[in-house]
Structure 1
Amino acid sequence: MRFALLAPLVALSLALAGCGGGDGGSGSSSGSTSTSTSTATTTSSSGTSSACSLATREAWALAQLKEWYLFPDLLDTTVDPDAYSTLQDYIDALVAPARAESKDRYFTYVTSIAEENAYYASGETAGIGVRLGFDYTAKALYVIEAYENAPAYAAGLDRGTQIVAIGTSTANLQTVSALYASGGIDAVSDALGDSTVGTTRVFQIRQPDSTVSTVSVTKADFELDPLSSRYGYKIIQSGGESYGYVNLRTFVSTANAALAEAFAAFKAQGVTKVIVDLRYNGGGLISVADTFSNLLNAQRTGSVMNYVTFRDSKSDNDETSYFSAQDGAIAATRVAFIGTGSTASASELVMNTQKPYLPNDVALVGANTYGKPVGQIGLDNSDCDDRLRVIALKLENADHEGDYYSGLASSYPATCEASDDISYQLGDANEPSIKAAIGFLSGNSCTAITSSLASSATASVQQGALADSVSVAGAARAREPLEAKSPSFAQRQLPGLF
């Protein structure tokens, strides 16, 4: 696995993810590029209250940032740790200068070692198991994706379902519009409760056919299958041609086998034109991104895949990655990537990696991506269950292109503007973004993603949650993933997850 050991005494976990998530290549974390099993720098030895006091944890975090932060000149070490009541607030103050330059938009954060390891090993988390999008125009809440093995799907909530009201019982249901009027988006998020297993919520829901019902859903542990059992991959027939379609939800280790199965199916059918749907994918392990790139590029074994570069003082950890043989890989001749403002980190790495090799045959379809050309490492204070995800590396493709902090749309070879219509299931050839992707693959012209759409896609970022404009192209803040006030690790990786 890439980046398994970056220093003699430190097993760093690298991770690439959305706004706060990780993506790495090995080890204990995520956020930008990593696997979920390694442990990183470990300090604190006793597990006593003094060892895990806020002051001690703040001092530890400052030391790690001074040593590893990718932008040392943008680290404000003058801030007073005594002025902050939480470790994350202190970290936010330290990296505020980099955030002001859009180089660290909540990518550096502290999370739970146990929680992150569970997520990266199997995609395990707790909740009702849906991705939610809030329509700021209609003040309405919708399910934009549902996980098949989670409680909400079993209760009838799926893509396109509107959540009209939320309560702890039928007696105290409050409409979503009233919640928003009383306390904004935080009131809507708070009404859903935390991710504690056993928490029950009652929902009044409206289906796309206008049927209204009331259901009770109890939160439980479930696995976030990286590829849906319904639409994870398929072969779409259109105009006499066969197109491969693959929808990856998140870059966790269990995705490797699922992706290999998908591409083996494409290979068996002679498919070389592929739609890669990453519209809600906030990132994950770099190692999985490399697997994905290898599966698309059977003909490029031995060629440069991408470059990983650390700050000058850590340049011994720099790495050049090369394409390698992968069972089931195809030699893709034309690729359409579907993205939105929730598409970040490892997702963008796969897109950027493909760019030099298909300069006239690769496109970004949908909306502009988030813009995260950097990755995290995971540094552990194990006795306190603290994992500090630190922006420590930059990512570049074979042409050394990597400064896409404003998203990929402005620099991508071709872009096709398209909406994300939740009245169609993901994987449906008639869904507008998929239809536009098929159009590009078949050689049709399209309307480029506009700058207004690009800016709207990253209009709102709060507490490490990714904002996304996933409605009609160009409609700023029309529908965005619902933000949790204090996001769990999984919510950092999967915008809108509850």
Structure 2
Amino acid sequence: MIKVCKLSSVALAVTVSLLAGCGGGGGSSSTTPTTPTTPTTPTTPTTPETGEWEAGVYESQSNFIAKCASPRTGIDPFTGEPYPDTQGTAMDEKLWLRSWTNDTYLWYDEVPDNNPENFSVLGYFDQLKTTELTPSNTPKDNFHFSQATDEYNQLSQSGVSSGYGFDWEFVNNTPPRELVVRYTEDNSPAAQAGVPRGAKLTRVNGVDFVNDNTQSGVNLINAGLFPENAGTTVSFEFELQDGSTLSTEITSGDIVVSPVQNVKVLDTASGKMGYFQFNTFIRTAQEGLIGAFNQFVDENVTELVIDLRYNGGGLLALASQMSYMVAGPSQTNNATFETLRFNDKNPTRNPVTGSIIRPTPFYSNEIDYVEGVLTDAVLPSLSLTRVYVITTGATCSASEAVMNALSGIDVEVVQIGSTTCGKPYGFYPTDNCGETYFTIQFQGVNNKGFGDYADGFMPTTTPNFGFELPGCEVQDDFTKGLGDPEEGMLSAALQYSETGTCPVVATSVQPIEERASSHAQAESLLSIQTPDERKEALFLHNKINEPIISEPK
């Protein structure tokens, strides 16, 4: 049985806090509430007067927090506590968003102070962000979104989502559309239907997915791709890699996410090489990661490939644990996994939690993610001085934090694939009135103080800057299964391990300015949506960008 470490009250507070944050690779140095702290709820709800907007004047968040146009009632099933909501107005919700942004947003002084009367609540939140650009002329903040709180809690706390079990690659979102299967979740309806990696969607419920641009066709496509409920049966037609057609009916269900897949040990000329596909840093991934590394230790693995090509991020604590399992105790001893930097109003204190900012260490023990504490069970580790990481533009946030943290302790990170999404930032998912909001609140830096990779980590044979890593530019290969030694990216890693060279067939990735961010890809799906279909747009955003998950405590 795993025993909980006996920690002092100070140590316990630090430990819990470092589990709670999230992001690029996020984390925090204090306990993060899953719902904002609210004033005492009166026994008889009253309707407060509507707040008013005055340009440049920001009232305290506490004046508006949990004052909702449609307050929830009863017990929150995820916390077991009564909902904090009281009767309020849409203006109260918008004014809370405004003050909260001004207090905690990393670039608060770059946010336009527009009159909230001119927006819906969600529309107002959408524009509460910087409009500045990165040096490569891409939007500085591509990671600003919200999600219904019950949907967010279901995925973050249980690893369960609704759908078919597809993970999609949106190659082209306007006619002629191209939607390709990246992989399917284990034991999901999609996997049981035998839909392979690389299958291209051609028809949904009889509608031409590739070319149909009628309103009725768009509606049928959306209804098929994004069913409102489990138990919805939809007909799909795919073109497979060999040119053949696969027609199948698939019934949607509650999908249990499998973060760790395709664990294997490959025999190479230079020794045993471990490989695993890692899809998201959620709490349920800990067991799979430990199992994978135990296998690698048992089989005397001396090289390791971590496939993060579709991993959009997650828990800082889990990213720290995985980094420790790669590097081992000697290289991580007294080193910092990541330190957070907040806006210039808060140089020493976390504006979300109010606590003093402390570095996040490399966690060497298992974590009880329910209680938010370290246990006395030590993690397995390989003590490698080099690791291969497979990446694409969908590799984001906590995945990049692992790469940055290992580089910060001089573990050589060899990057195979294409430039990552560029998110050295993070946020505390914050609920208000049934919507969970994600707004950039901090930047993470490694043991050497480096965190400037807003345009992503880039593989190159001649690295000169901190965001350039040794490795090979290789396109994603949909003709082979993930974990197949002949799949393009894994094959390149194997060749680099043996010869130190990149494949001749490797092709250059698109220039940074031409790469669509995950957020931009999600927004562009509006081309096959009616303007009011926000739910589907958010769903797609979450599937592409894998929203950063934080653990409540």
Same fold, TM-score > 0.5, yes or no: yes
Q: TM-score, normalised by structure 1?
A: 0.81
Q: Percent identity?
A: 26
Give the aligned CA root-mean-square deviation in angstroms. 3.6
In structure 2, the residue matched to 1:289 is 319
1:273-352 residue pairs with structure 2 within 5 A? Answer: 273-298=303-328, 299-300=330-331, 301-314=333-346, 315-317=348-350, 318-325=357-364, 326-352=378-404
In structure 1, the residue matched to 2:180 is 142
In structure 2, the residue matched to 1:362 is 413
Question: 1:260·1:327 contact (CA, 8 Å) conserved in 2?
Answer: yes
Aligned amino acid, residue 133 of structure 1: E
In structure 2, the residue matched to 1:476 is none
Q: Aligned pair in 2 of structure 1 residues 277, 46: CA closer, same or farther (>3 Å)? A: closer
* CA deviation profile, 1:264-302 (whole Å, cap 9, x unmatched): 111112213111110011111111111111111112222
Structure 1 residue 3, shift from structure 2 partner? 12
Q: Distance in 2 between matches of 1:390 and 1:313?
A: 16
1:110-259 residue pairs with structure 2 within 5 A? Answer: 110-136=146-172, 139-167=177-205, 173-179=206-212, 192-228=225-261, 231=262, 233-259=263-289
* CA deviation profile, 1:87-141 (whole Å, cap 9, x unmatched): 2321222214246875653423332222222212222110111012234397433
The answer to whether 1:79 aligns with 2:114 is yes
Q: Aligned pair in 2 of structure 1 residues 390, 369: CA closer, same or farther (>3 Å)? A: same
Select which of 520, 526, 529 maps to 1:462: 520
Q: Distance in 2 between matches of 1:237 and 1:484?
A: 44
Select which of 91, 110, 122 maps to 2:125: 91
Structure index of larger Rg: 2
Q: Distance in 1 between matches of 2:99 and 2:143?
A: 18
In structure 2, the residue matched to 1:15 is 22
In structure 2, the residue matched to 1:480 is none
The answer to whether 1:401 aligns with 2:450 is yes
- Secondary structure at the aligned position of 2:143 is classed as coil
Structure 1 residue 428, shift from structure 2 partner? 0.7
- Secondary structure at the aligned position of 2:247 is classed as strand
* CA deviation profile, 1:460-479 (whole Å, cap 9, x unmatched): 74375699xxxxxxxxxxxx
Greater CA deviation, 402-411 or 340-349?
A: 402-411
User: Which residues of structure 1 form unaligned runs of 5+?
Assistant: 29-33, 168-172, 468-482
Q: Distance in 2 between matches of 1:47 and 1:164?
A: 42
* CA deviation profile, 1:252-274 (whole Å, cap 9, x unmatched): 00111211111111111221311
The answer to whether 1:56 aligns with 2:92 is yes
- Secondary structure at the aligned position of 1:353 is classed as helix
Aligned amino acid, residue 423 of structure 2: K
Q: Distance in 2 between matches of 1:114 and 1:5?
A: 27
Q: Distance in 2 between matches of 1:369 and 1:189?
A: 29
Q: Aligned pair in 2 of structure 1 residues 149, 5: CA closer, same or farther (>3 Å)? A: farther
Q: Size of the alignment, in residue pairs?
A: 454
In structure 2, the residue matched to 1:415 is 471
Q: Aligned pair in 2 of structure 1 residues 380, 41: CA closer, same or farther (>3 Å)? A: farther
User: Which residues of structure 2 form unaligned runs of 5+?
Assistant: 39-64, 72-85, 351-356, 365-377, 459-464, 526-534, 548-553
Select which of 486, 489, 498 maps to 1:430: 486
Aligned amino acid, residue 383 of structure 2: A
Question: 1:376·1:389 contact (CA, 8 Å) conserved in 2?
Answer: yes
